[in-house]
Amino acid sequence: MKTKKFFTDVQNFCAPKISTKIFVDSKLLIIAIISLMLFAIILFNLNLLAGIDEATNSFSQKIQIDFLVQIAKAISWLLEPINMVIVSIIISVFLLKRSKKDALLFSITMLLAGLLIYILKNIIERIRPENALIAESNFSFPSGHALASLVFFGFLAYFLLKRTKSKTKKFVITISAIIVIILIGFSRLYLNIHWLSDVLAGFLLGLFLLFLALFTRKNIS
């Protein structure tokens, strides 16, 4: 009887925690899958989105101001995908002492993001807008800045969120990361370097990589 009671107590103690863990893990994987599906929808419907892309491009050109153009150019230059990959590796070196798992996952995911950007651009070969304010030598789809920034700042936000219990701080961290990511994507549109669908696809693929990485983080020993 005592043995039976012991196992019952253990089951009752663990069941809520196990179910909560499975629920949280499932949400991460579901978000990753939905993001990948939406990315695929954009990819296979680029022609249908051409009207929206052209309208967005035309609107961006109408609201360009020299001062803001220079800021957007600075953002694009500082936050080149290759720069974010290099910084992520440097950060990962410092993270090794605290968490090898986080360090390896961060650097590997960023490297994978960089590889995906290169492969997809050269497979799809989408031409950039003709009125781009910065000359780019590579192709347009997806936006490397959008993809890399979402993974990079998403991971930084995750690391900071892990270190605080304050709901206010968590809110500020989350909103700040979202604003930075959106501003980076907007800067690419503002400079007419990308079509809107390029940026949205970059964000969605970035979400896929980020949440897949977090799902992996939760499930590796």
Q: Is 145 assigned a catalytic role?
A: yes
Residue among 121, 193, 191, 114 nearest 147 (CA): 114
Q: Which residues, including other chains, have CB under 8 Å from residue 96's CB and lie 6 or more apart?
A: 103
The active-site residue out of 128, 145, 188, 217 is 145
| Annotation marks residue 107 as catalytic | no
- Distance of alpha carbon 94 from alpha carbon 97, whole angstroms: 7
210: Cβ contacts below 8 Å, ≥ 6 apart: 32, 109, 150, 151, 154, 155
Among candidate residues 91, 194, 200, 209, the one labeled active-site is 194
The Cα–Cα gap between 90 and 44 comes to 36
Catalytic residues: 145, 194
